[in-house]
Amino acid sequence: MYDVIVVGSGITGGWAAKEFCEKGFKTLVIERGRHIDHRGAEYTDMQAPWQIENRNKVPELFDEEGRYAMIERKGYFKNATKQFFIDDKEHPISYPKESPFKWIRGYQLGGRSLTWGRQSLRWGVKDFQANAKDGNGVPWPIGYEDLAPWYDYVESFIGVSANKDGLDTLPDGVFQKPWEMSCAEKFISENLKKAYSDRRLIIGRSANLTEPTKEQIELGRGQCQARAYCNRGCTFGGYFSSLSATLPAAERTGNLTVVTDSIVESVNYDDKLGKATGVTVIDAHTKEKRQYRAKVIFLCASSLGTVQILLNSKSKSFPNGIANSSGVVGHYIMDHFSGVLANAEVPGFDDKFSIGRRPIATYIPNYRHEQKDGVDFVRGFGFQGTAQNRSNTGTTAKKVGIGAAVKEQSNQTGPWRFRAIMYGEMLPNYDNHARLHSTDKDQWGIPILHIDARIRDNERKMIKQAAKDIKEILTVGGCVDIQVNEFPESKPIFVGDRVHEMGGACMGEDPKSSVLNKWAQSHDVKNLFVTDGACMSSCATQNPSLTYMAITARAADYAAKQMKQGKL
């Protein structure tokens, strides 16, 4: 028996554990993946390139259909990082052939907090108002003013390196010293500032420490060394993860218990009490079942992982899954989407060279909250990009070359080029959903998810406009040789590809149309909370992890106060 059970140990699970443990509650964290240690053997960030097997090329893992299918084309899937991603053949999902879904997962203690991109962006006022304004999805029951102090709180703890840009669409926060733009990026940024009132190129906001605080140092974290080995695990603790920050903070209280290799099958519900009483787990190796009990349960298993647990938690009161009287659980699945890639030469800096490996890209925030000029879609998009000068070397193992000629070539740098990728806001659509498969089960006997989520007309219209916009932006920015790749309508866009899946248990005021209230608390089951990406009612254009963390800290504070008052 525990005070609190937290399901999942990633971005939000770590935060829930920290908050409850520091408030004096005995807290159990359940992780379906294996135990790994911070700075342990699975971290490869201290290995030199020549020490990594196969020169960091991934071995032949893809010959057998279905293995690593979701991740294999991602640039960060290397021999040094493959241990942090699951084999899709071992953990299958189902989806329609015409709309494949990419669910990229990491099952280990710390989850995907070990491999996230660390772009830490606040939402603005208009992002929370969008659903109510244009009628898509369920209106948010909270606004920016509700999360602002929690953004402050989270940023102070995790450490966000960023510039104060003074943008209403991307509010400033509690920042450490920002990373510096390259000369080519500064050139584009200054040109855009002169020409536009709404389009800005800014340095990204990264959860990589540049000026560690006393609190961060006491947790064993150190300054980011700008080596860009972040997704190998960071021995320095320079970037924020559950293993480097929140779980150590929880552990030092003496109130934390962690169990790994334990797959949550369902949340247990007492029909007479009208409360959740705990969870049933399946041992990942022995497949034996056991139960844990608690007064309060926080689901932080990732958006779709939480949806699967909710739908599989059936009882007399909830035959279609716990907390699902509305029938909305599993609906409004979202992700950011792309569809436009651009690159261009930045002239005039042939005598300048890039130095170091900055851990974050630059960012063009969404400037299309208010549509004009005949644009026929709602919401908007932003761009993430980087300018670099690459050499013409043939030593990348992707080009032919050997010996003195290659060595000579490696000393000849190429021009600076700026590369950008679109991040669009996918509308919350009820028909984009996940449900339990009617017959197929995983190796633990749990029904697998069937996910049917696709981009629609509004998103396709965004792609067309984004292609036009980025060409104009790069031209105004002073670039030449501009190349824009717009995905044709015949080419499927993989939802999930941006690894920002959201929705499935949305927040809202009305229990008939939403799953959670303004505290991320179930309308139906008062001691059940969902604070991972499943709780999101829309997805905006910004990377979502900072907002997940703020929602989790706020919800944990509320739940703790309710527990102390005897209301939970």
What is the C-alpha to C-alpha distance for residues 122 and 86, in angstroms, rounded to an integer?
29
The percent of residues above 70 in pLDDT, for the chain, comes to: 96
DSSP SS3 for 545: helix
pLDDT at residue number 71: 83
b/e code 140-164 from CB counts within 10 Å (16+ = b) = bbbebebbeebbebbbbbbbbbbbe
Q: How far apart are CA 523 and CA 510, in angstroms?
A: 9
H-type helices in 219-272, by residue range? 247-251
Tens of pLDDT, residues 309-329: 999 999 999 999 999 999 999
Contact of 299 with 8, CB cutoff 8 Å: yes
Nearest to 192 by CA among 162, 227, 221, 167: 167
| Average pLDDT in the chain | 94
Per-residue pLDDT reduced to its tens digit, 221-235: 999 999 989 999 999
pLDDT tens track for 483-539? 999 998 888 888 999 999 999 999 999 999 999 999 999 999 999 999 999 999 999
Q: How confident is the model at residue 244 (pLDDT cuts 50, 70, 90)?
A: very high
Instruction: Provide the percentage of residues in the chain whose pLDDT is more than 90.
Output: 85
Q: Give the pLDDT band (50/70/90) at residue 181.
A: very high
Structure tokens at 272: 């007479």
Give exposure, 20-48, as e/b (b: 16+ Cβ within 10 Å).
Answer: bbbbebbbbbbbbbeebebbeeebbbeee
Cβ neighbours of residue 277 under 8 Å, at least 6 residues apart? Answer: 268, 269, 270, 293, 294
Give the residue from 565, 426, 557 showing the smallest Cα distance to 146. Answer: 557
Question: What secondary structure letter does DSSP report for 54?
Answer: G
Considering the entire predicted model, what is its pTM? 0.96
Fold (CATH) for 2-162+239-336+429-442+500-564: FAD/NAD(P)-binding domain (3.50.50)
CA torsion sign, 417 to 418 to 422 to 423?
positive
The model's pLDDT over 548-564, given as tens digits with 9 standing for 90+, comes to 999 999 999 999 999 99
| Distance, CA of 289 to CA of 263 (rounded, Å) | 9
SS (H, E, C) 13-52: HHHHHHHHHHCCCCEEEECCCECCCCCCCCCCCCCCHHHC
Window from 85-89, 91-95, 407-411, 456-460 with minimum mean pLDDT: 407-411
Query: What is the pLDDT at residue 410?
Result: 66
CB atoms within 10 A of CB 391: 14
The per-residue pLDDT for range 86-110, each reduced to its tens digit, is 988 899 999 998 888 999 999 999 9
With beta carbons less than 8 A apart as the criterion, state whether 359 and 230 touch: yes
Find out whether 352 and 389 touch, Cβ atoms under 8 Å.
yes
Residue 389 has a pLDDT of: 84
Give the per-residue pLDDT at 372: 76
Task: Name 528's Cβ contacts closer than 8 Å, sequence gap at least 6.
Answer: 267, 276, 296, 297, 299, 322, 323, 521, 522
CA distance 103 to 116: 14
**Per 3-state DSSP, what percentage of the chain is helix, strand, and coil (rounded to 5)?**
25, 20, 55
Q: Which of 249-263, 359-373, 417-431 has the lowest mean pLDDT?
A: 359-373
Token reading at 281: 């787990």
Angle made by CA atoms 29, 30, 33, in degrees to the nearest 5 = 130
**Overall average pLDDT of the 249-256 stretch:** 98
The pLDDT tens digits of the residues spanning 352-370 come to: 888 788 999 999 999 999 8
Residue whose token pair is 């993430």:
384
Closest CA to 558 of 125, 142, 1, 29: 142
DSSP assignment letter at 251: H
Half-sphere exposure in the Cβ direction for 152 (13 Å, CA): 5
CATH 3.50.50.60-classified regions of the chain: 2-162+239-336+429-442+500-564
Which residues make Cβ contacts (< 8 Å) with residue 315, sequence separation at least 6?
269, 271, 322
Query: For the segment 149-158, what is each residue's pLDDT rounded down to a tens digit?
Result: 999 999 999 9
pLDDT digits (tens, 9 = 90+) for 102-150: 999 999 999 999 999 999 999 999 999 999 999 999 999 999 999 999 9
Mean pLDDT score, 23-34: 98
- Count of all residues that appear for the chain in the document: 568
Name the H helices within 273-411: 303-312, 404-409
Q: Give yes or no for a contact between 369 and 126, defined as CB atoms under 8 angstroms apart.
A: yes
DSSP string, 114-134: GT---B-----HHHHHHHHHH
